[in-house]
Chain A
Amino acid sequence: GAVVSQHPSWVICKSGTSVKIECRSLDFQATTMFWYRQFPKQSLMLMATSNEGSKATYEQGVEKDKFLINHASLTLSTLTVTSAHPEDSSFYICSAFDRRRDEKLFFGSGTQLSVL
């Protein structure tokens, strides 16, 4: 099956610093990648849709200046949490869509962010 690599798996940072999370599709080209946020024992909340070569589309309530998304190639999307604060602590997951492989999504393993 298709593989999506996400790293780091976990990161601890000080309040006010920026953190970058990478999401790579290893064996397919992902025209679209999605970024989600998940709180403990809750569902996934879509933050933004990332299309290669164009600006990301953010969901209502998600600050685009806070969560910078770049999708510069068909295999890489990055999420940068800028000036992180403790309330940004969460589990962030990416997924990639490959039009050749039916309509299912392939997920990264997630990044646990803890902001001190």
Chain B
Amino acid sequence: SQQGEEDPQALSIQEGENATMNCSYKTSINNLQWYRQNSGRGLVHLILIRSNEREKHSGRLRVTLDTSKKSSSLLITASRAADTASYFCATADISNFGNEKLTFGTGTRLTIIP
């Protein structure tokens, strides 16, 4: 399977703490993206990091990318109850440039305890 792996599969933390999720992938990529999914809903794009970038920030989100290790991490700082959701990484394979076919990771279910 070309699907990426995420860990942990599930994470429960107290509100206000930071949450870190990791993603590993197998191919050479153009970019890596993180998406969020609330239960029974579609996905919402959070952040995109290109293969030539190492770190990116957006509000309370911080993403890192290590192409040598084929891994990425998503950090959510000062977590809130509303951050409870599943988070997926998705990679755009370098051979699919222009068509944006993404391969999704297995996902991390994040629960923020009020």
Contact = CB atoms under 8 A, between A and B. Distances in A.
Interface residues of B, number: 25
B67 interface: no
Interface residues of A, number: 25
A103 B104 contact: no
17 contacts: A34-B101, A43-B105, A46-B104, A49-B99, A95-B42, A95-B43, A97-B99, A97-B100, A99-B98, A103-B33, A103-B48, A104-B33, A105-B100, A105-B102, A107-B35, A109-B42, A110-B42
Interface in B16-75: 30-31, 33, 35, 40-45, 48
Closest 8 CB pairs of A and B: A107-B42, A104-B45, A107-B43, A109-B42, A97-B100, A44-B104, A43-B104, A110-B42
Contact of B106 (A4, A43, A49, A103): A43
Contacts of B102: 34, 46, 105
A45 B15 CA distance: 31
Mostly, the B contact residues are strand
Mostly, the A contact residues are strand
B92 interface: yes
A109 B101 CA distance: 19
B77 interface: no
Interface string A62-101: 0000000000000000000000000000010101010100
A27 interface: no
